[in-house]
Amino acid sequence: MKNILVVGGAGYIGSHTVKMLRAQGYSPVVYDNLSKGHRQAVEEVPFEEGDLGDKARLAEVFAKHHIEAVMHFAAFIEVGESVKEPSKYYHNNVAKVLNLLDTMKENGIKYFVFSSTAATFGEPVQPKINETHPQQPINPYGNSKLMVEKMLEDFDQAYGLKSVALRYFNASGADDSGLIGESHSPETHLIPLVLQAAAGKRPSIKVFGSDYPTPDGTCVRDYVHVNDLARAHILALEKMEKENKSLRYNLGSGSGFSVAELIKEAKEITGIDFKVEYEERRAGDPAVLVADPAKAQAELGWTPQYNLKQIIATAWNWEKNRRF
Ligand code: UDP
């Protein structure tokens, strides 16, 4: 199985996965409407512009490239926006994915890799979140991703469509080449914002909340490098195909770092003492979110290869010379 349609392949995690698929001998084809993605991120691969909601276009692309599996990255990802505009999230992240799955079914494509999220778990009930942790999202973004996980279970049972759902913790970092990296508009993620403060592109970094029940009062997150995520996609795709079964994995390092710790590391790595301002908590942020990656380690042989310093260093390399 070599011909993979990467939906949302011009985006952040999609483009890193496309690069790794190519390096491992796959033939990825990017399908993207460029509403968020960047054409420059995938200059060297077949590119098909199109929308997830367009069944005829999807069917045409499936046939043209003899597609055997679909990796799906095209989603809206901002928790705060999802609270204000849930309709947008249910349309794009749920209804259009149903459209994609139906088109796959109609065209006999049986393998699907889905970008899910730690946000499907909601408030943690244990220190590290494993795959048996209850899934009770606390915002429309998490709901939208969990709904697709449920649809995938039903599609497997009824139609034999096999899927992998990968619940990412905090995707971060950039490819070592410096040619691709994170570029959201607006940017809401901590690491790019911190590094933009270091680069003088922003006046300061604002820390959202310093009264959380954590050792230093700031939120703790599990940062996982985008290339480690990309590698997990390929390992999981291969296992799903070999065993012809659906799989679920939580992808994080298993280690948590606070916002304050991350800022300290960033100051050391960049050598720049940028301004830090403490603000109110941001709505919808759990105090601590850390993965238990034991299942992915045991079943996929997957262990993250980049630590926090390397994540920040690669993101800094990208930030200084970003192409888009
Ligand atoms: N955060 C912050 N300032 C910012 C952006 C984020 O303090 O400008 C905090 C946020 O409250 C959370 C952590 O950094 O505790 C990671 O946030 P991010 O949006 O990067 O990822 P999330 O954990 O929401 O997926």
Which residue lies with its CA nearest to atom 11 of ligand 1? Answer: 208
Q: Which residues make Cβ contacts (< 8 Å) with residue 49, sequence separation at least 6?
A: 31, 32, 33, 34
pLDDT of residue 165: 98
Residue 284 has pLDDT above 90, yes or no: no
Please compute the mean of the pLDDT values over residues 106-112 and round it to a whole number: 98
Among candidate residues 12, 89, 141, 212, the one labeled active-site is 141
Residue 80 has pLDDT above 90, yes or no: no
- DSSP, collapsed to helix, strand or coil, labels residue 314 as helix
Q: How far is the CA of 67 from the centre of ligand 1 (A)?
A: 37
CATH number for the region 190-221+254-321 comes to: 3.90.25.10
**Nearest ligand 1 atom, CA 117:** 25
Residue 93 has pLDDT above 90, yes or no: yes
pLDDT tens-digit map of 156-180: 999 999 999 999 999 999 999 999 9
Pocket mutation for ligand 1, best pick of 229, 262, 282 (most atoms within 8 Å of C-beta): 282
Which residue lies with its CA nearest to atom 6 of ligand 1? Answer: 190
Separation between Cα atoms, residue 14 and residue 59, nearest integer Å: 21
Which residue lies with its CA nearest to atom 7 of ligand 1? Answer: 207
Q: Where in the chain is the domain with CATH 3.90.25.10?
A: 190-221+254-321
pLDDT of residue 259: 98
Q: How far is the CA of 274 from the centre of ligand 1 (A)?
A: 17
Residue 272 vs residues 135, 174, 182, 307: alpha-carbon distances, Å: 40, 20, 21, 21
pLDDT of residue 203: 98
pLDDT of residue 28: 98
Q: Where in the chain is the domain with CATH 3.40.50.720?
A: 3-172+223-251
Binding pocket residue ranges, ligand 1, CB within 6 Å: 79, 170, 188-190, 193, 206-208, 219, 221, 259, 282, 285
Please compute the mean of the pLDDT values over residues 282-287 and round it to a whole number: 86
Name the E strands within the chain.
3-7, 27-32, 47-49, 69-72, 111-117, 162-168, 170-172, 205-208, 220-221, 223-225, 247-251, 257-258, 276-279, 288-289
Q: Is 141 a catalytic residue?
A: yes
Which residue lies with its CA nearest to atom 3 of ligand 1? Answer: 207
CB 173 within 8 A of CB 225: yes
Please compute the mean of the pLDDT values over residues 206-210 and round it to a whole number: 98
Q: Which CATH class is domain 3-172+223-251?
A: alpha beta
Percent of the chain scored above 90 by pLDDT? 97
Q: Tell me what the pLDDT averaged over the chain comes to.
A: 97
Lowest mean pLDDT among 20-24, 229-233, 281-285, 315-319: 281-285
pLDDT of residue 283: 82
The DSSP code sequence of 151-191 is HHHHHHHHH--EEEEEEESEEE---TTSSS----SS---HH
**Nearest ligand 1 atom, CA 279:** 7
Lowest mean pLDDT among 131-135, 281-285, 292-296, 318-322: 281-285
CB 114 within 8 A of CB 73: no
**Nearest ligand 1 atom, CA 220:** 15
Beta bridge partners of 129: 291
Q: How far is the CA of 290 from the centre of ligand 1 (A)?
A: 14
pLDDT tens-digit map of 220-239: 999 999 999 999 999 999 99
pLDDT tens-digit map of 3-47: 999 999 999 999 999 999 999 999 999 999 999 999 999 999 999
Residue 247 has pLDDT above 90, yes or no: yes
